[in-house]
Every structure is written in structure tokens, then in C-alpha cells.
Structure 1
Amino acid sequence: MVCRTDNIKEKELDALFAFNEGVLGYTFMRAKKYHVEFLDVSVKQNLPSTYVPLNQDNKNLIEQNIKAVTVLSFYQGNSITGLLAIDTTNDADFQALQNIDLHSDAVNWMRSRKQDIELLWRMKNNV
């Protein structure tokens, strides 16, 4: 994890996700150079059919009240080099998380830090 806000519980840092699991995995599987995805996870029946729910261990670690997530994935070649997830527990934030300006700002933020993100990724993965 490159950065996080103070309201993320320490136990969330122990989560180990399967390749295609949860919101991050769902976005990862839809690989593009820069891919932004908004998912409303508050109504399980509305999730895409290819969405794989969190396994029980991760479900116990991750905040249970998350209602929506906007995820940006960044790839170089066939490898993911960065993920940015913005989540909310408040329905009132849905419109903001779907806002195209936020998505554009997130892409610009990732692009402006491309080299730093790639370096951190290489260091973390011993590449």
C-alpha cells in the first residue's frame, strides 16, 4: 500500500487478496493502461456477474460498512504497477465517486507519480 488515510483500520493491512477477489480484483481483471471503475457494493444483487466476493478471512479484516469504491488501476505492458482505491461508507458520496472530474484527477495523479509508483512496486516485488 503506497498511502492511506488515518481512518483505515490496522487490521485491513493484513488482508491478502486472491488475484480476482473483491473490487480490486474485479478492476484488475478488466486491464487497460489506465482503468477507472466505480462499483456500488451496497446491494450485492447489483454486482456484475464476474465479481468475486471477498473470502471470509478478508471479509473479517475489511471495513464492513463500505458502500461504494472507485478504483483506478495503472498498467505498464502486461503488469499492474499501481492501484488507487477510494471508498466510502456514506451513500451521499456516490455522486462524487462517479464524477468524471474525480476520475480524471485520479488518472492525472497516477500519471504524475508514474516513476515513483513503479519504483515502489519493483521494490515491493523484488523486481
Structure 2
Amino acid sequence: MKSLRIDGGYLLTEMTVYINGQPLKLNRVLVDTCATHSKLSIQRLVENGITLSEASTMEVPYVMNASSLSVGPLKIIDFPLEVKKLQDANLDGVLGLDFLKKVGAKINLDAMTLSGSRVI
């Protein structure tokens, strides 16, 4: 189970993503059941010294595979993520339906937790 919090009107959590063998801990990740795809902030990647190809600087989203993505005990190996400039610069990423469905996510707003029914 992973804790959730509300901050600035957003439902947020933390996640760790491994890119090119390098862990990146993201603290302000929006849990968004309306987003079809999970996303990473290109600003956070650059700030953490993770280099991307030139395609990532384009206005269209750049898709990359994270070697793993984990939100507490919920973990997926080889997971595609969109890398783009997010509308809210204070967000590190977006946890979308692609991840939530894959782990069988259960969002408990009473307990403010995120859990899953599948091990991937």
C-alpha cells in the first residue's frame, strides 16, 4: 500500500523510476484517472542529469521505456512513459490509467492509500 496526499487540489504520491540504470525519485506525482498514459516531466529528468535524445525536445511527447517504475510496493518492469513538459511545472510526473490498470489499482480515498491486486 502506498500513501496518497492532497496538495494544491492534486491527488499526489511518490514514485521511483529507473532510467538507463539510474534511479530517479519523484515526490510530486499526480494520480490521474483521466490520463491515458503515465508521464514524466522533462524538466525533472534534465535537472537530474538524465540525458535524452533530441526527439525529447520536440513539442510532441517522447516515449521512452523505464527499466522499472515503482509506486510503493506496486512495480512494473519495462514500462513506457511519455516525457514532456507538463502544464504544471510543480509536478514531477503523472501516474495514468496505463499503470493503474496494469497493477489493478485500488484508490482508497477514505484511508488515502493506493494498492494493487496484481504483481507484475
Q: TM-score, normalised by structure 1?
A: 0.31
Bigger helix share: 1
Q: Which has the higher contact order (CA 8 A, sep 6+)?
A: 2
Greater strand share, 1 or 2? 2
Q: Computing the radius of gyration over CA atoms, which structure comes out larger, 1 or 2?
A: 1
